[in-house]
Structure 1
Amino acid sequence: MSHEKKELDELDKVNAALSSSEQFIQQYQKPILLGLLAIVIIVSAIIGVRHFYVLPRENKAQAEMYKGVFYFEKDSFQLALQGNGADFIGFKAIADEYSSTKAGNLAAAYSGLSLYNLGKYDEAITYLKNFDADEEFISPAIIGTIGDCYVNMDKYEEGVGYFERAAKKADNDMLSPIYLKKAATVYEKLGNKKKALEMYQKIKDSYPKSMSNQDIEKYIVRDEEAGK
């Protein structure tokens, strides 16, 4: 009997809880439904923005890129940059208009490289700095080109730092020695033989398999002699 009473008490508690929940839902049914509807709308909006806005913009930007790459590879940097006035708007316009897309990001890199080749170093730096990528070869090359821009404007202190950053970012036998050698050359230009020697020594110690390592010893000996 005691056991049956206990079970009835438990059922009463469950029923009371259910009843309380029903009352709560009935009382706040409208706010709850509105809240759920808002969540559905937000999620749908995110999906919709991506499907109907982001992806079409990405596809359109990518379609715009092909003609520009053709001009760039033909060294027609002005056409690549500004467009042909007909069926290609130019890398600058793509980079500015589609900045939120991957193609727009890549167009910023092409804009910077085109401007560099046209000798417009200040403007090139702006676009190159807007490019965002962690790819093993592209990112160091862009960083290194920023260094080249500064050096070509005789801003050696700014440029040498980018060469060192490019070497560190690449961290491979192909690219790192190139940028370390550029950094060494700039340090020599600045009269800092100690730092130049440090760059050459780093090539020798860190990248023994690189092509640059074959003649690196002569630079080390030369700067060691100069430092005596």
Structure 2
Amino acid sequence: MTETTHKAADAPVTKDFQLQDSVHKAEDFYYKNKNVINIALLVIVVVIGGTFAYNKFIKAPNEKKAQDMVFHAQQYFEQDSFKLALNGDGNNYGFIQVLDKYSSTKTGQLSKYYAGVCYVKLGEFQKGADLLTSFSGGDQIVQAMAYGLAGDAYMELGKTSDGIDYYKKAGHYSDNELTAPIYLFRAGMALEKAGKSADAVELYKEIRTKYPQTNEGREMDKYLARLGEVRN
């Protein structure tokens, strides 16, 4: 009984000793590597502080400046004055200037989309396609429209394969009834033009199945029948 009590009393002492030994090891590690550790901690603090400062003192003010700068360009765009919207009127900036100056802002990125649309409307299809294919927006419908309009530009350039790729990309990017059936249908028509009727049939069937209540969905039986696909 005495022996058992003695062992039980020894256990906490051993545990405390191990804990103390572990603390000493941690202290030794710190003192041996404190320069590296302190630098690493400083970097973390600087990164966090720098990110906060960038967002508050650079990013936010630049976003506001870009929004102010793009105002007249948007007005010209709404009036279908695409040259003025694109390049400005001499007193006010156009989308190209906003994009050049504030490309890192959300407004700058949206200006890229608008500029791409302007180029396509003005018949400068390659410039439009270049901007629209590099556009990266947060809105799924706008992004789908950018891909779809790039498809239009490539078709105008006679680049049917690229046109098909971007129509399909637009149609599959956002699963909605507004843009998806339109661009999938354009992809199907382009595939027919390229002599790829079987691939067109697959897209027409997809539209009929997924978007039966849309204008395109209701028309698919007619287009499928023309290609020899009759619903049983």
TM-score over 0.5 for the pair: yes
Q: What is the CA deviation profile of residues 114-155 of structure 1, one whole-angstrom value per residue up to 9, with x for unaligned ones? A: 111011111111111221125231111110001000000111
Counterpart residue identity of residue 75, structure 1: D
Gaps of 5+ in 2: 1-5
Letter in 1 for 2:110: L
State how many pairs are aligned. Answer: 221
Task: Name the CA distance, whole Å, in 2 between partners of 1:44 and 1:141.
Answer: 38
Quick one: distance in 1 between partners of 2:135 and 2:27?
55
**1:119 and 2:123 equivalent?**
yes
Task: Select which of 147, 150, 167 maps to 1:146.
Answer: 150
Match of 2:94 in 1: 90
CA RMSD of aligned residues (A): 3.2
1:195 equivalent in alignment to 2:187: no
**Would you identify which runs of 4 or more consecutive aligned residues in structure 1 move more than 6 Å?**
27-35
Q: Which amino acid aligns with 1:55?
A: A
What's the counterpart of residue 54 of structure 2? 49
The answer to whether the aligner puts 1:106 opposite 2:110 as a matched pair is yes
Structure 1 residues 84, 37: CA separation in 2 closer, same or farther (over 3 Å shift)?
same
1:173 aligns with 2:177: yes
Q: Does 1:220 align with 2:224?
A: yes
Distance 1:169 1:36, change over 3 A: closer
TM-score w.r.t. structure 1 length? 0.81
The answer to whether structure 1 residue 79 and structure 2 residue 80 are counterparts is: no
Distance 1:216-1:45 versus aligned 2 partners, 3 A rule: closer
Q: 1:54 to 1:216 in 2, by over 3 A?
A: same
Q: Which residue of 2 aligns with 1:60?
A: 65
TM-score by length of 2: 0.80
1:192 is displaced (CA, Å) by: 2.2
Partners of 2:221 and 2:180 lie apart in 1 by 17
Alignment CA distance shift 1:215-1:61 (3 Å): same
